[in-house]
Amino acid sequence: MTSFPIAKTDGIPLGKMIGVQIDGEKILVANVGGEYYAMRAICNHMGGPLDKGKLEDNVVTCPLHGSKWDVKTGNLVKFVRQLPPEPVFKVTVVGDQIFVEK
């Protein structure tokens, strides 16, 4: 497990998310109520870029076909059919630096 520095805390404002490439994988990091959460950013339906979707509270909506995912757990919240969960990653903050463990 390695800690990757991905952004400063002021780089991800409240209610926003960013997409980052970590170790060859696209990951989104979201600020939900002042806490940061990291989840794989490639929708496992048909590869939609979840980091380009819409974030409302802890739920991100895929921009391609509208599946909804909980960025805290990686679980599917709503879609026309069941999909497996997305991997989530531990996030730590040291000072004003956000790290994702992978």
Residues that bind ligand FES (CB under 6 A): 43, 45-48, 62, 64-67
If the CB atoms of residues 36 and 40 are measured against ligand FES, the closer one turns out to be 40
Long-range contacts of 96-99 (CB under 8 A, 24+ apart): 96/8, 96/9, 96/10, 97/5, 97/8, 97/9, 98/5, 98/6, 98/7, 98/8, 98/9, 98/11, 98/12, 98/29, 98/36, 99/3, 99/4, 99/5, 99/6
If the CB atoms of residues 4 and 79 are measured against ligand FES, the closer one turns out to be 79
Compute the least distance from the CB of residue 84 to ligand FES, in Å.
Answer: 13
Compute the least distance from the CB of residue 28 to ligand FES, in Å.
Answer: 13
